[in-house]
Amino acid sequence: MLQVQNLQVTYPTPQGKAYAVNGINLEVAAGETVGIVGESGCGKSSLARAVMRLLEPSAGRVVIGGVDVTSLPKRKLRPLRQRIQMVFQDPAASLDPRFTVGQLIGEPLTLTEKHRATRNKRVLALMDDVGLPVALFDRFPHQLSGGQRQRVAIARAIAPRPDIIVLDEPVSALDVSLQAQVLNLLVDLQQQYRMAYLFVSHDIGVVQHMADRIAVMYLGRIVEIAPYADIMESPQHPYTQALLQAIPVMDPRRSRIADKQILTGDVPSPLSIPSGCAFHTRCRFATDRCRRSVPPLHSVGSDSLVACHLSAPSTESPFN
């Protein structure tokens, strides 16, 4: 459904070129949910925006349903927008305050449904699908709660029946109690509409219950990608282990991590990415080799990839 090939997003700064996304390869199959996790500043939102062509990649390709969207002129992107939609973190900023709920949800349908009565019928069905009372049809975004606004944004996204939705921190602006409701709604809608999700979150705990696979990003690169169960039961990369330890809930499966990996310090600036393994400044296993050479993303098991010298399939000791 979605292929991201060697994608790079850079931006110029007075100090030089900064790499927000630095050579990402990723595939999302039909109906699959892939979670992209990492701390703020890891490049995951830049990746999401580049997939949507809201940011222009500096290299690489994004292929949606077999069509290379990176080489398409913007005017030819519109039909493809039906196939891929996005839900943003802040629904207040993504919804036009001058439109009512009915108009906001109906707007993506104007291309395919010209008759207003038929369109409104479909809008009411979409409102029902996302759990919005019909009484809100004529309300404006400022008259809604945060949870209701995000439901409007989700209804807009599913209206054209896309193949895939990019969800960029879709619940992080909501209260914890509302987060669970919206996550459950997304799970139900995925089954009903048979869509794939690319789910971006700084919190691995948020994506853990719905992702088929999880990709962990650090400073513009994927450092581990694996099926959900493998990530939860035997995370290979020290950064993944640290993210899992930060989830504030008890999960007996995580007891398999022998020692706690506590994350200290901040993500370094993308303007001065550390040499070798970019995580070495925060990794308690770092060696000279880690400081010298970039660990390639290599297979561990049948479906997992990890970029760490500790799990490299090399006869050389990782501590040389």
Among 88, 197, 199, 279, binds ligand SF4 (CB under 6 A): 279
* Number of chain residues interacting with ligand SF4 (CB under 6 A): 13
What are the phi and psi torsion angles at 100 (to 5°)? -80, 170
Residue partners of 92: CB distance under 8 A and separation at least 6: 141, 146, 149
- Residue type present at position 183: L
For the CB of residue 294, give the shortest distance to ligand SF4 in the complex, in Å.
9
Among 280, 300, 304, 305, binds ligand SF4 (CB under 6 A): 280
Quick one: which segment of 154-162, 184-192, 204-212, 276-284 binds ligand SF4 (CB under 6 A)? 276-284
Quick count: other Cβ atoms within 10 Å of Cβ 58? 15
Among candidates 59, 83, 61, 86, which has minimal Cα distance to 72?
61
Among candidates 225, 202, 200, which has minimal Cα distance to 214?
225
216 near ligand SF4, judged by CB under 6 A? no
For the CB of residue 300, give the shortest distance to ligand SF4 in the complex, in Å.
12
Determine contact, residues 56/11, Cβ cutoff 8 Å.
Answer: no
252/98 Cα distance (integer angstroms): 49
Among 286, 300, 304, 305, binds ligand SF4 (CB under 6 A): 286
Nearer to ligand SF4, 24 or 277 (CB): 277
Burial 222-244 (b: 16+ CB within 10 A, else e): bbbbbbbebbbebbbbbbbbbbb
Residue window 232-261: x/- pattern of binding to ligand SF4, with contact defined by CB under 6 A = -----xx-----------------------
Nearer to ligand SF4, 25 or 287 (CB): 287
49 near ligand SF4, judged by CB under 6 A? no
221 near ligand SF4, judged by CB under 6 A? no
Nearer to ligand SF4, 226 or 290 (CB): 290
